[in-house]
Amino acid sequence: MKVIIEVARRGSAVRAARQQLAAARRGHSPDYRLSFESARALFADLTPARLDLLDTLRKLGPCSVYALAKAAERNYSNVHTDVARLEELGLIERGDDNAISVPYEAVEILLPLAQVA
């Protein structure tokens, strides 16, 4: 399963939800879709440091925030803040044992360019 992150106009979230439901009905594991209204908003939440954390966490497997901060060679407080935001976005999950993990095999970012008139 992968996460598809996109810049999309308002109302496209409904279309994405319909696509996910249709895939689920066909027996396919639907991809997780996350939409932002602008590239600026996308990159404000998905900074290079946060994308690196997703990659590091995927390599490590389920672990504590402390272990992730140590593996990423970053300050614990900053990693804790980044993990909290990534959890809010649905890109990191927390298990019953409080370990965090990335449930996706890949992240795909779709960034459409402006239409030429």
Tell me the domain boundaries of the chain. Answer: 2-110
Q: Which pLDDT score, from 0 to 100, does residue 113 have?
A: 81
The whole-angstrom separation of Cα 4 and Cα 109 is 6
Task: Name the β-bridge partners of 92.
Answer: none
Measure Cα distances from 3 to 32, 43, 74 in Å.
5, 16, 25
Q: What is the pLDDT of residues 9-29, one digit of tens each?
A: 665 555 555 555 555 556 656
Label each residue of the chain as H, E or C.
Answer: CEEEEEECCCCHHHHHHHHHHHHHHCCCCCCEEEEECCHHHHHHHCCHHHHHHHHHHHHHCCECHHHHHHHHCCCHHHHHHHHHHHHHCCCCEECCCCCEECCCCEEEEECCCCCCC
pTM reported for the whole predicted model: 0.79
Q: What is the pLDDT of residues 58-93, one digit of tens each?
A: 999 999 999 999 999 999 999 999 999 999 999 999
Q: Domain spanning 2-110: which CATH class is it, in words?
A: mainly alpha
Lookup: tokens for 79: 């990693």
